[in-house]
Amino acid sequence: MDNPLDSLCIVMIQTSHPGNIGSAARAMKTMGVNDLRLIQPNKFNSPETSALASGADDILVAAQHFDTLSAAVADCQTVIGTSARSERTVSWPQLAARQCGEFVAEHLPSRKIALVFGRERSGLSNEELEHCHYLAHIPMAKEFFSLNIAAAVQLFCYECRMATQAKPESSSLQPGDRDDIPATSEVMEGFYQHLETTLTDVRYLDPENPRLLMRRMRRLFGRSAPTQNEVSMLRGMLAAFQGRKFQRRSS
Ligand code: SAH
């Protein structure tokens, strides 16, 4: 693959200002990042979008539209949420923007990685955070910590580009053999649903009072980044607990 950044996608959730989508497209194109995914933007085809894209219209035209985050990142193996805040109830593994670039460079192109950007007003919801393996943050001045979303997209794409270029050619990982393929978000979502049902069946999880159990499970399994085969093994195990057989999907 010529450009490892082709395996990186930018996801924007319910962006309010159409101009921000145009500015983000421009920011992406200057850094060689081309895959834009939009989830229910407030307005998309506005003259402001195109004006602020300033020549990066091809990214807007090719942008894919989705209804939910899980659909937008279904084919990705790693999902990195970006947040203006750094503290949360169940803390996610955190990456500073520079570390995020290094992480991305280390894993491209053998993994598909999504960088997710939240709403201008409220950022990412807790439910959306559950789809993320990491949270990345641009440290800001204490006196004024309001960063425009397109500026954040620019900065993350810049860090990813710099780190990717700094990586020696020979160390660039190519997709491994079938046994090594990291599970995609879609496969992991199937596993989490199966896990939740099984834990409910065996009365370990009380649906009336689930507390943070599934969130903690997501964190645990997300951290271990299992391969497709390992997820099949785990699902086989869950099926056995339920006295059923798990039918692997042939892919
Ligand atoms: N009040 C919101 C701010 C959202 S800004 C909040 O507290 O979350 C809109 C989006 O821009 C954020 O969801 C994030 O994706 C990105 N962003 C803004 N500032 C950032 C920062 N310092 N680090 C990482 N991402 C940031």
Query: Is the residue at 218 inside a domain?
Result: yes
Q: What is the pLDDT of residue 172?
A: 45
Q: Does the pLDDT of residue 117 top 90, yes or no?
A: yes
Q: What is the mean pLDDT of residues 157-164?
A: 97
Residues spanned by the domain of 151: 4-166
Task: Please tell me whether residues 226 and 148 are part of one structural domain.
Answer: no
In a mutational test of the pocket of ligand 1, which residue from 83, 140, 154 has the highest number of ligand atoms less than 8 Å from its CB?
83
Does 122 reside within a domain? Answer: yes
- How far apart CA 239 and CA 29 sit, in angstroms, is 46
Report the atom number in ligand 1 closest to the C-alpha of 153: 16
Q: Let me know whether 86 and 134 are in one domain.
A: yes
- 159 & 48 share domain: yes
Q: Which CATH number fits the domain that encloses residue 190?
A: 1.10.8.590
Task: Decide if 176 is inside a domain.
Answer: no
Do 84 and 204 reside in the same domain of the chain?
no
143 in the same domain as 21: yes
Q: Could you tell me if 158 and 129 lie in one domain?
A: yes
Domains in the chain: how many in total? 2
Ligand 1 proximal residues by C-beta, below 6 Å: 82-85, 117-118, 120, 122-124, 137-138, 140, 147, 149, 152
Q: In which order are the strands placed within the sheet that holds 8-13?
A: 64-66, 35-39, 8-13, 113-117, 78-82, 134-137, 94-96
Q: How confident is the model at residue 174 (pLDDT cuts 50, 70, 90)?
A: low
CA distances from 162 to 96, 99, 156 (A): 15, 11, 10
pLDDT digits (tens, 9 = 90+) for 54-108: 999 999 999 999 999 999 999 999 999 999 987 655 678 899 999 999 999 999 9
pLDDT in tens, 182-230: 899 999 999 999 999 999 998 999 999 988 899 999 989 988 889 999 9
In a domain? residue 216 = yes
Do the domain assignments include residue 178?
Answer: no
Q: Are residues 57 and 153 in the same domain?
A: yes
Among the three residues 108, 133, 166, which one is the final residue of a domain in this structure?
166
pLDDT interval class at 243 (50, 70, 90):
confident
Same domain, 152 and 238: no
Answer yes or no: do 122 and 223 share one domain: no
Is residue 245's pLDDT more than 90?
A: no
Nearest CA to ligand 1 atom 16: 149
CATH of the domain at 152: 3.40.1280.10
pLDDT of 63? 97
25 part of a folded domain: yes
Task: Answer whether residue 29 is part of any domain.
Answer: yes
**DSSP state string for 68-106:** SHHHHTTT-SEEEEE-S----SSPPPEEEHHHHHHHHHH
> What are the tens digits of pLDDT across the range 12-34?
999 999 999 999 999 999 999 99
Question: Could you identify the atom of ligand 1 that is nearest to the CA of residue 116?
Answer: 15
Residue 173 confidence (pLDDT): 47
What's the gap in Å between 149 CA and the centre of ligand 1? 6
Write down which residue in 166, 197, 228 finishes a domain.
Answer: 166
Residue with CA at minimum distance from ligand 1 atom 11: 149
